[in-house]
Structure 1
């Protein structure tokens, strides 16, 4: 008999998950500050272009392309808690190098790319362990609620982080603002280390064989009747999304000539939408099913970007109408992601055996990040060549086609009470 999802599971009453949730919330807040700071750093401090923003973003995700599948297999062999602690400490210390390099006069776009490659390598291991750690903290019936709680805190961080990040960048400068994220990772490491959890490492029935284990993860993702169409769809989604978000920063700062605080306000609106979406995610997912919820979310994203494209140029007296339209578009985009993530993540975790959790998560994430490595520079280059709005219109068309493809696949019937494998 399938295990019925727990729609009202109060997972925050579990002390282990509560500490993990707090750690993720703290580091998530810092991450959104840095997201703004790094983009402003490239455009304004280092006099970079949209293409430079794309290259820095691609460097951040390059390790997922090169090492992702291997890391997924290695994580499945080990306890996940120590990996989370070590990678949080490493990322915190690494981010401290950015203001130091800026102070020494040694910061440039290529140097920043190198730092982001090292940062991305640590993030890769952390992501594989994080997504695989949640099923060890809460029972299967609480996975949807747990992921919804994580999304809600992420949405709150996304709401406040960009606005505060924009203000900190304006007050202290982009390099120094990055230190906020460094401190958040160090605190996250301390909280995660304090969690009491029993982790069992699977004992292989045959000698470890890395290539065989990687192939097993690939087979699970790309031969699963329901997961496969979703995985393929998300790959295309990340191409469109990375191109659009890369162009968006330069569109706001250079195309519309708005300031960093105004940029932060528009990005914060996405956090508000994400919070609303994540608060509704559990109820909507249980009522509509995973498939219909995710497909609806994918159709909402192009609506939000269409609003952004229609933003008027700032008038001579006030930029308020422009900022308001951008915020409205970002609000819809955030709502879409808030509805989608907890449902798709909870379903993936629920139908995947524990021994394959790391490989399933990192296989999908690695290929998705490979799409970012392609989409972010491509969006930047096209934005510089043909303009920001044409690139956004192309991304909108891509989103619509991807949602239509998912709606025609078996994924449309996915539900949270689907049978998990024995």
Structure 2
């Protein structure tokens, strides 16, 4: 894959923006909680605003992606995100930023991210041959995970040292660099345009129908929705728990998240070997069971701030990362090749609507649960939901998929 110049540029763009995103992932909640003195409910509103576009815009973004050339959409989304975060940094440093302004900024940031994610998913198969797609996804997953190691730790340290607003400025810079790299990519693609007599609603519904009728994709999307809902509850509760109860909270949170990135690197590096030995289905289900259950074990030891709790959380995130690293490259490859290219954007949009839509609902539920039960019990509830997410895939025909050719037999 490294001999493919177009892949190298797309990989580089994703690597740079992922690094910036890791910094921003820590900087935004710290900005809300520590700089703007947000409550748990206000933090959940900020988080939900970042995720609501995945619920409201995903289907329509999928239609736009299938009708348009992907590369210009990715460039525009990167530039828009960079400008937006630069403005947030400026307003925060000047002392003008408020919680309502941060919520609006999060809403816009999430909207541009939806467009980029939809276009990026459909763009990669255009520059990578089908037989190399698993390898490409595994390399991208490994890189993102490796950056997660450095990014989470660096994000925690940067927020601690230079403050959250300036850390967001670095996140903005990463999107500008990413956009410039995508500009240099050369790929043959043409805008499909609108199908005669077809409305955006009908095209979007066609993608959802195919997603629901495909038994393997149906199991994957159910797992993703349940996991994302529980993970948002878990993440908000864990963030508040660590930032408020632990000394050097941002740094501790960065270290815990960094261990998840390390595990994901190890997992993604093993993904192809495990798939070749056990087949897609067994490797996928086994990795999901590990990745989805480990956080529950870790948070069980974190009821009170202590060195034991930090070690338990770090080890749990490490093991969870291993499972997720194996599963991600497999699941993405299955989703990319399970449906024809001409409907890939819409089917992925339906997948994202169901899976990412639950992120916004989980963010709101997390704020409510933390307010009612406290941060540690809310984190336990979120982790239990995550552990249950493996059931839909384990019960689906995905367990019988040995090679990608088997997807044809599972197709509706």
User: Matches of 2:227 and 2:18 in 1, distance apart?
Assistant: 22
Alignment of 1:152-163 (within 5 A): 152-163=142-153
Relative to structure 2, which stretch is displaced further, 136-145 or 412-421? 412-421
2:206 is aligned to: 216
The Cα offsets for residues 278-299 of structure 1, whole Å up to 9 and x where unpaired, read as 1111221232233222322322
Helix, strand or coil at the partner of 1:88: helix
Contact 2:215/2:396 (<8 A) preserved:
no
Q: 1:400 to 1:271 in 2, by over 3 A?
A: closer
Which of 340, 343, 346 is residue 359 of structure 1 equivalent to? 346
User: Matches of 1:268 and 1:166 in 2, distance apart?
Assistant: 10
User: Matches of 2:248 and 2:304 in 1, distance apart?
Assistant: 10
Which of 268, 273, 295 is residue 304 of structure 1 equivalent to? 295
User: Matches of 1:371 and 1:76 in 2, distance apart?
Assistant: 24
User: Matches of 1:407 and 1:103 in 2, distance apart?
Assistant: 49
The Cα offsets for residues 183-236 of structure 1, whole Å up to 9 and x where unpaired, read as 111011111110111113336663442122111111111111221122122211
Match status 1:348 vs 2:300 = no
Helix, strand or coil at the partner of 2:405: coil
The Cα offsets for residues 26-83 of structure 1, whole Å up to 9 and x where unpaired, read as 1100100010111111121111233332221110111121121111111101110111
Which of 101, 111, 126 is residue 136 of structure 1 equivalent to? 126
2:75 is aligned to: 85
Q: Could you say what the CA RMSD is over the residues aligned between the two structures, in angstroms?
A: 1.9
Listed as ranges, the gaps of 5+ residues in structure 1 are 1-10
Listed as ranges, the gaps of 5+ residues in structure 2 are none
Which of 380, 385, 399 is residue 393 of structure 1 equivalent to? 380
Q: CA deviation at 1:351?
A: 1.4
User: Matches of 2:174 and 2:233 in 1, distance apart?
Assistant: 28
1:166 is aligned to: 156
Between the two proteins, the alignment pairs up a number of residues equal to 408
Helix, strand or coil at the partner of 1:220: helix
2:233 is aligned to: 243
Contact 2:220/2:392 (<8 A) preserved:
no
User: Matches of 1:61 and 1:394 in 2, distance apart?
Assistant: 20
User: Matches of 1:420 and 1:292 in 2, distance apart?
Assistant: 14
Q: CA deviation at 1:420?
A: 6.2
The Cα offsets for residues 92-145 of structure 1, whole Å up to 9 and x where unpaired, read as 111001121113322122211100111111111100000001110111111111
1:45 is aligned to: 35
Helix, strand or coil at the partner of 2:215: coil
Q: 1:57 to 1:415 in 2, by over 3 A?
A: farther
Match status 1:201 vs 2:188 = no
Which of 12, 16, 35 is residue 26 of structure 1 equivalent to? 16
User: Matches of 1:149 and 1:394 in 2, distance apart?
Assistant: 33
User: Matches of 2:272 and 2:189 in 1, distance apart?
Assistant: 27
Q: CA deviation at 1:258?
A: 4.5
The Cα offsets for residues 4-27 of structure 1, whole Å up to 9 and x where unpaired, read as xxxxxxx12111001110110011
User: Matches of 2:275 and 2:100 in 1, distance apart?
Assistant: 43
Contact 1:143/1:350 (<8 A) preserved:
no
Contact 1:304/1:331 (<8 A) preserved:
no
